[in-house]
A and B are shown apart, each in its own frame.
Chain A
Amino acid sequence: MNKNLKTSSRLKTDKPNSIQKFNHKNLLAISQLNQVEIVELLDRADEMAKVSLTPQNIIPSLKGKTQINLFFENSTRTQASFEIAGKRLGALVMNMNVQTSSLNKGETLIDTASTLNAMRPDVIVVRHSASGAVELLSQKVSCSVINAGDGSHEHPTQALLDALTIRRHKKRLNGLTVAICGDIAHSRVARSNLMLLNAMNVRTRVIAPQTLLPKGIENICAEVFTDMKKGLKDADVVMMLRLQHERTDGQLIPSAREFYHFYGLDKKKLSYAKPDAIVMHPGPMNRGVEIDPSIADGAQAVITEQVEMGVAVRMAVLNSLVGKSAHNNMGHNNMGHNNMGHNNMGQENE
């Protein structure tokens, strides 16, 4: 690991020092980051959010760089977000949508990786339906790779944008209670969020019927609830997940109607959370399945702000991995999943 991570002093003006705080080639998973790196990325994203309001002030740090968005799974919003983020930083952005259904999936992945690599991009943003596929691809290319969601494994930029949104509303992360509700078993958003929030000393809760709770989940969150009202009690943040019918087979939950009755977020259930609790959703929403329309469009919802922060976070990530100032990151490939125990490194520096 980067030895500089142990330094907790951080000055916003001290740019060279701050660059050394994020010394990765790839962003494959939140589990590869420690607390200091997460805070650093959130701070940079905050800056990006500010300059995004005045586009003339953006430094085109990715000018001359090539970014490929390689999506094996359809996603309008994530792809658009990465595209805008890249373009705002001056990168040449190319979108590739690979429909896996018509081709042998594995061949496509490895073959596409080496083909694209030969075109010498600077960064590839990848989404794939199989857990671990993005990491596999990263081993076959020489440029930076950003995981835009792999199967049920991780979706790191979503967790970062969620954390940024929370921090902007609550002015802190440390000590908050965040309840994540819905299909935990199949959700990469839930996993990435748990990794990140745990690293930031947030009290994490998950709420779901037993059939949508993966084995061992109690080891990666503070509390597990099957009763939504109990789970939401005094929560600062309510994070809803999209229910993906195609993944539940009709065996894990009998119907959307029943799910809504017990786990859909409505006024009554939300009243158990703190009065100033914010409601989040990674989108796209199923109104009337996991969330009541009045909540989705209500005062406590921060869902469109999440989208806005998405662009800022992705700009920060792109800039940190391949931006002009990130010249010293190549060859320091600190990827891997061995950082889970680093939650207590450094102090959150708000």
Chain B
Amino acid sequence: MSNYKLIKNARIIDPATNTDKIGSILIKNTKINDISFEKTINAPQGATIIDAKGLVLCPGLIDTRVFTGEPGHEYKENLRSASNAAAAGGVTTFVMMPDTMPIIDNTALVDFIIRRAKATAKVNILPAAAITKGLKGKQLSEFGLLKKAGAVCFTDGRFSLGSTATLKSAFTYAANFKMPIINHLNDEGLGASGVVNEGLMATGLGLKGIPKEAETIPLERDLQLALKSGVKYHGAQISSASSVEIMRRHKKTNSNITCGVSINNLSLNENDVGSYRTFFKLSPPLRSEDDRAALVNGLNEGIIDIIHSGHDPQDVEVKRQPFAQAGDGAIGLETMLSAALRLYHSGESDLITILSAMTIKPAKLLKLKSGRIKIGSPADLILFDIDFPWVVDESKLLSRSKNTTFEQAKLSGKVFYTFVSGQEVYSQKGENNVT
């Protein structure tokens, strides 16, 4: 017995095909069965019919950088709570960083995550495995076996792999297995003791600055090694105008490189730190407004490929500290789309560009079948109201940790429905006009 769902009268946006038209989609079981740019399709009998009334229907978002607390720090976030937050934010797939306890650097852990996610999570959770054993930057983990077990990419998470020799062999070996390497960019010597963007604001607050060179030097190094090895390389997240220029230059000669940007760096700047607000202590740090504008330009020009949430749940004790002693990171799964839509509402970016960076582009990096609206693709879809105004209330966020950079922020645009493999995993009923 097949299970059909018809979503009719939706504004279908598929960044993969540059589509933005009113139409309908028929879901059969877990996959997209039919697409029509008429107002409706003749649905089989017994189909669930959802009248979208013009809401945007687009592929579910794919978030390439999410930290969870499971295993090891479940009080911060477990797979279930992270997936609930994801579903509410329209994220149907996320890549989970290996910085857990124990660290995801062996096949048993990858297997555990996949099984655990299947049992408890509403959305697709894809494990990233550590580049090096124990994230220590020395011995490579078993790339081939980890790939076979289901790891989708290699990264040392919040650690920046800094040894040139190790990087070179990691890149070469990963190229052998056609697996992407994602490296966080922070030069240990230059960046380690800093806590905010270097500049006048840091000087005024008496905080040690992180110069942009802490990012540009490792980026330049990685890109030279990437060209030599032929690896599919993804710079985890860039934060400065100079990094955009470096990416622009290297993309002319190497088609295997991409980079990401955190939604925080794209929508906030260093002034948001205000008087020592530790929720805005991030790595890379929030930089100047000029840097932020350059990142938006980079996104618009396709120099920056992917927007991620950088979701990093931290408990109160980690954040309620003097600024220099507080931990890095902010949650973001539930607010990523709405925060990104700020760029649309402000006229800085168009909708297809924004959505592309959270759907088809990460899908291509990770070789996923989702991230597009295509017959036969997984029915990972979201319906959202592009203008719906709401105020972020941290007590209503589904993440176990509340360290959001958007507390009390007024955002426009909200997910109303999230489907993963054809199943409704989130709906905001009662507050919208969908029937």
Binding site for B on A (CB under 8 A): 31, 105-107, 109-110, 128, 130-133, 135-136, 150-154, 188, 191, 214-217, 219-220, 336-337
**Is the CB–CB distance between A153 and B205 below 8 Å?**
yes
Are the CB atoms of B325 and A214 closer together than 8 Å?
no
Among B77-85, B196-204, B369-377, B410-418, the stretch that binds chain A is: B196-204
Closest to A155 in B: B206
A133 to B325, CA, bound (A): 10
Q: Using an 8 Å CB-CB cutoff, how does the interface string of B194-216 with A read, 1 for contact, 0 for none?
A: 00001111111111110000000
B175 surroundings in chain A (CB, below 8 A): none
Alpha-carbon distance A152/B207, docked complex (angstroms)? 7
Report whether A214 and B202 are in contact in the complex, using a CB–CB cutoff of 8 Å. yes
B41 within 8 A of A: no
Min CB distance A329 to B, Å, is 20
B322 adjacent to A133 (CB under 8 Å): yes
* Nearest-Cβ distance from residue B321 to partner chain A, whole angstroms: 4
B431 beta carbon closer than 8 Å to chain A: no
* Partner of B326 from A106, A128, A154, A219 at Cβ < 8 Å: A106
Contact A130 B323 (CB under 8 A): yes
| B 319-340 to A, binary, CB cutoff 8 A, 1 in contact else 0 | 0111111100000000000000
Whether the Cβ atoms of A131 and B320 lie closer than 8 Å is: no
On whether the beta carbons of A135 and B276 are closer than 8 Å, the reply is yes
Q: How far is the CB of A26 from chain B (nearest CB, A)?
A: 12
With contact pairs A128-B322, A219-B200 given, residues A150 and B206 touching in the complex (Cβ less than 8 Å): yes
Q: Please, which residues of chain B bring their CB within 8 A of the CB of A135?
A: 275-276
Query: Are B324 and A130 closer than 8 Å at their CB atoms?
Result: yes
A-B contact pairs, 15 of them (CB 8 A): A105-B322, A105-B325, A106-B322, A109-B322, A131-B206, A131-B324, A132-B276, A135-B276, A151-B207, A191-B203, A214-B202, A214-B203, A216-B200, A220-B203, A336-B275
Using Cβ atoms and an 8 Å threshold, which residues of chain A touch B207? 131-132, 151-153
Beyond A106-B317, A131-B205, A337-B204, whether A151 also contacts B199 by CB under 8 A is: no
Identity of the chain B residue whose Cβ is nearest the Cβ of A130 in the assembled complex? B322
* Alpha-carbon distance between A134 and B323 when the two chains are bound, in angstroms: 11
For the complex, give the distance between the alpha carbons of A136 and B320 in Å: 8
CB neighbours of B326 from chain A (8 A): 106
Asked if A109 and B209 sit within 8 Å, CB to CB, the answer is: no
Rounded to whole Å, the gap between the CB of A344 and the closest CB of chain B is 19
Given A132-B276, A336-B275: A220 and B325 interface contact (C-beta under 8 Å): no
Q: Cβ of B275 and Cβ of A188 under 8 Å apart?
A: no
In the bound assembly, the distance between CA atoms of A31 and B275 in angstroms comes to 12
- Tell me, in angstroms, the Cα distance from A150 to B206 when the chains sit together: 9
Q: How far, in angstroms, from A128 to B205 measured CA to CA in the complex? A: 14
Q: Give the distance to chain A from B195, nearest Cβ to Cβ, in Å.
A: 9
Within 8 A of A (CB), among B23-64: none
Kindly state the separation between the CA atoms of A215 and B320 in the bound complex, as whole angstroms.
27
Flag if A110 contacts B320 (CB, 8 Å): yes
Contact B204 A132 (CB under 8 A): no
Within the assembled complex, what's the spacing in Å between the Cα atoms of A95 and B201?
33
Determine how close the nearest CB of chain A comes to the CB of B210; give it in whole angstroms: 11
- Shortest Cβ distance from B221 into chain A, in angstroms? 22
CA distance A48 to B325 in the complex (A): 38
Residues of A with C-beta under 8 A to B202: 214-216
B242 to chain A, nearest CB (A): 15
Cβ-defined contact, B200 with A215, below 8 A: yes
Bound form: Cα–Cα A149–B275 in Å: 16
List of A residues within 8 angstroms of B200 by Cβ:
215-216, 219-220
Q: Is the CB of A106 within 8 A of B320?
A: yes
A54 and B412 alpha carbons, distance in the complex (Å): 66
Known contacts A110-B320, A136-B322, A336-B275, A215 near B199 by CB under 8 Å: yes
B199, B206, B207, B321 interface centre (most CB from chain A within 10 Å):
B206
Pick from B199, B201, B204, B321: contact of A109, CB under 8 Å? B321
Q: Which residue of B lies closest to A192 (CB)?
A: B206
Q: What residues of chain B lie closer than 8 Å to A220, measured between beta carbons?
A: 200, 203-204
Whether B206 lies near A188 (C-beta < 8 A) is yes
Name the interface residues of B261-319: CB closer than 8 Å to any CB of A: 275-276, 317
| Pairwise interchain contact A132-B203, C-beta atoms closer than 8 A | no
Nearest CB to that of B211 among chain A residues? A215
Q: Which residues of B contact A133 (CB under 8 A)?
A: 322
Query: Chain B: which residue is nearest A336 at the CB level?
Result: B275
> In the complex where A152-B207, A220-B204 touch, is A132 in contact with B275 (Cβ < 8 A)?
yes
Closest 3 CB pairs of A and B: A216-B200, A153-B206, A130-B322
Can you name the residue of chain B whose Cβ is closest to the Cβ of A214? B203
Least distance between A101 CB and chain B CB atoms (Å): 13
CB atoms of B321 and A131 under 8 A apart: no
Chain B positions 169-225 with a Cβ under 8 Å from a chain A Cβ: 198-209
Q: Determine whether the beta carbon of A337 is less than 8 Å from that of B206.
A: no
